[in-house]
Amino acid sequence: MKKGSYTVEAALLMGILIPLLTGVIYLGFFMELRGQVQAEAMEKALTGLLTEEEAEGVSLGKKEISAETEAEVPVFPFGKRIFSLPDSVSGKFVLERQKPVRTIFRMHSMKKAIRQVKKE
């Protein structure tokens, strides 16, 4: 091999690896934001179920409670153009109203199952 050939190969590979790595990191931030928005929608729906009050983004129905949230996606200067991600992320969570006794029974059943798995 000639002297400096590794430098040329590394320079050619960096043109591909750096944007790819940046894209993976940016996609990770985007997926984390989507998870946070979905968790916030779930929390709003559960709060609406407990308080029986409508709040911003929460609608109470006879059979279900739905909550919607939205957050703006923070972008790096090149993020939108290169990865073509949306400007905002929205999350929706629908919670069916059930009889309280049934819900409590399911929660206790889940606790028992978790304890059994931990024992094994």
Burial level of 92, CB count in 10 A (0-12/13-18/19+)? Answer: middle
For 36-60, write each residue's pLDDT tens digit.
999 888 888 888 877 777 788 888 8
Is residue 93 within 8 Å of 45, Cβ to Cβ?
yes
For 97-117, write each residue's pLDDT tens digit.
776 667 677 778 888 888 888
Q: What pLDDT, on a 0 to 100 scale, did the predictor assign at position 120?
A: 72
Beta bridge partners of 96: 64
Q: What pLDDT, on a 0 to 100 scale, did the predictor assign at position 17?
A: 92
Q: Is 70 exceeded by the pLDDT of residue 79?
A: no
